Amino acid sequence: MGRPARIDRDAVLGAALAIADAEGLDAVTMGAVAERLEVTPMALYRHVASKADLLDGLVERLLTELQVQPQRADAGWSEHLAAAARATRVSARRHPAVFPLLLQRPATTVSARRVRDAIEGALREAGVASDLVSQTERLVSTAILGFAVSEVAGRFARHSRRQLDADFERLLEWLGQLIESQTLH
């Protein structure tokens, strides 16, 4: 006993994410992850309960990596919102295979809450009434996630990058407009 650990949960998730990014979700098998770590597949089960647990871990890692800037005081709510939305899209493009899984789990983890708080903060800053903040956050996040997932999952495969950039900017304008219409002036 006291045998030095050669891998840990973080290493497992890191290897799995690298495979997912490079070869897609189907390539993420216990065997492939193990091989990358120079270990047998069975060794993974000490650090991950199951393959489903491994995928949950990947989703959590995406959320953790998602850079939501600490609110800069010199920028307004609409810049804060746009920054969070753009960071979300960047994360989607960096991890196209894993990102769509975000639609499958309620945002209950610590890092998910961080992202939500950032958006809710922007909404309050904009002047959205307290009792409308959480519904508004859900719908705003849904639109942003829906776009980002569509883009990386393939629904927009026929559209150019330039077109998608323009679509996304228009989406941000719309969201800003809607939020303003929601405030007392």
Q: Could you tell which of its own copies, DNA, none binds residue 103, using a CB distance below 5 to 8 A set by kind?
A: its own copies
- The answer to whether residue 130 forms part of the interface with its own copies (CB under 8 A) is no
Residue 10 Cα to chain centre, angstroms: 18
Pairwise CA distance, residues 142 & 24, whole Å:
24
Q: How far is the CB of 47 from DNA (least distance, A)?
A: 6
Interface stretch with its own copies, choices 2-10, 64-72, 85-93, 153-161 (CB under 8 A):
153-161
Residues 19-58 that bind DNA (CB under 7 A): 28-32, 34, 39-43, 45-47, 50-52
CB of 99 closer than 8 Å to CB of 145: no
Handedness of CA 90, 24, 27, 45 (dihedral sign): positive
- The answer to whether residue 107 forms part of the interface with its own copies (CB under 8 A) is yes
Pairwise CA distance, residues 67 & 91, whole Å:
8
- The answer to whether residue 156 forms part of the interface with DNA (CB under 7 A) is no
Among all chains, which residue has been given the structure tokens 């993974």? Answer: 44
- The answer to whether residue 147 forms part of the interface with its own copies (CB under 8 A) is yes
